[in-house]
Amino acid sequence: MKFQFKAYLSKRLVILTVCLVLAAIAAQLSRLHWIFDLATHLTWHYILAGAALSGFLFWLRRPRWAFLAIATALLHVPLIYSYAWIAPSGALTATAQEELQILQFNIGSKNEQARKFYEWLREQPSLPDIVVIIEASEKLKPVVAGMMTEGWPHALADYQEDNYGIAVLSQIKDSDLSLEPIGDPFLPSIIVRGKTDKQNIPFTLLATHPPPPITGTLSKARNQQYIAYADWLNNESVSNRILVGDLNTTPWSFHYQKLLEESNMLDAQAGQGYIGTFPAWLPSLMGIPVDHALISKNIEVVHRKAGPGFTLGSDHRVVMTTVKLAR
């Protein structure tokens, strides 16, 4: 029997289309089960996959399946567009007075090339005011020591080998760094309370890293951390509040949206385009945004951009966020 390549390909593309539709449906049910929540990570990829599948299916003369694929893609366009290219309506137009530049990087606890991050950072034309390093292990100690002598005199770290270590460095003169339990006491968070150098504008920054939702238990633990973050942020008296970290979720997760709502915070990436920060070996447009910065509504985002990651030995990208603080 002669092998029919087009028939073979057609059947498999139909199967992929069914998988695409099922995954998209699961993503809409993210509040019901942790596995469904994982499906929200690929919201942008549903658009790419649907567009590609529809093109091939039209070529193979399977129009019904092609229309189903493109319809699935189009249903997700508003989600991406409203997040990446529309600034949040809740943001206030405040009299912004001073910029604050924050660099965040999940360096990876097993990273053997941590020194490369330090070398890359020294080459930047503008050095960040605050550096947040997630998954800080003992390997990072020499890097932090070097950074403290070259512009970031204020530093605090909790080095761990289990992916929950964290380090924060600040070059702001009036900086008070403290290690405080937010939610689970075994998950360290570092808080920076300070005032900007020029206008003495007070701010508070929370750097943190909740568990990855790869099991039901860990997903529940992550969501409990979100509740703790919201409670902590709501109890902070300082108006300029920032939360930075690898939050192990994407903006389309029900639980992430609940965190934004209950904390009365905004996503700093909203309106700044699409930036995929993981995995770093993929182009940024192909990655998923799991490294977040949340800001209070009186803070204005100047810009947010991703840097390298894979060349620095990590599976996450460096992310630089510049904001303007107001009284």
pLDDT above 80 for 315: yes
Task: Report the pLDDT value the prediction gives residue 91, as an integer from 0 to 100.
Answer: 58
- Compute CA 302 distance to the chain's CA centroid, rounded to the nearest angstrom: 17
Beta bridge partners of 205: 192, 242
The helix, strand and coil proportions of the chain, stated in percent and rounded to the nearest 5, come to: 40, 25, 35
Quickly tell me which residue has 């990436």 as its tokens. 269
pLDDT above 80 for 26: yes
Task: Report the pLDDT value the prediction gives residue 103, as an integer from 0 to 100.
Answer: 98
Mean pLDDT of all residues belonging to the chain: 93
* Residues whose CB falls within 8 Å of the CB of residue 310, separated by 6 or more in sequence, listed in order: 279, 280, 281
* Domain segments of the chain as ranges: 5-84, 96-326
Looking at residues 229-236, what average pLDDT do you find?
Answer: 97
pLDDT (tens digit per residue) in 165-175: 999 999 999 99
Q: Are 243 and 227 in contact (CB under 8 A)?
A: no
Task: Report the pLDDT value the prediction gives residue 1, as an integer from 0 to 100.
Answer: 41
Lowest-confidence range among 75-89, 216-230, 288-302?
75-89
The CATH fold of domain 96-326? Deoxyribonuclease I; Chain A (3.60.10)
Is the model more confident about 94 or about 7?
A: 7
Quickly tell me which residue has 């890293």 as its tokens. 209
Q: Are 169 and 130 in contact (CB under 8 A)?
A: yes
DSSP letter string over 80-101? HHHHHSS--TT-----EEEEEE
Specify the DSSP class assigned to residue 280: T
Specify the DSSP class assigned to residue 286: G
pLDDT above 80 for 198: yes
Looking at residues 106-131, what average pLDDT do you find?
Answer: 93
CA–CA dist 37, 61 (Å, integer): 34
H or E stretch including 119?
Answer: helix 114-122
Quickly tell me which residue has 């930047």 as its tokens. 124
Looking at residues 99-125, what average pLDDT do you find?
Answer: 93
Residue 227's pLDDT band, with cuts at 50, 70 and 90, is very high
Residue 96's pLDDT band, with cuts at 50, 70 and 90, is low
Beta bridge partners of 321: 102, 304
CA–CA dist 119, 45 (Å, integer): 34
Task: Report the pLDDT value the prediction gives residue 239, as an integer from 0 to 100.
Answer: 93
pLDDT above 50 for 285: yes
Instruction: Report the SS3 class of residue 6.
Output: helix
Looking at residues 57-83, what average pLDDT do you find?
Answer: 94
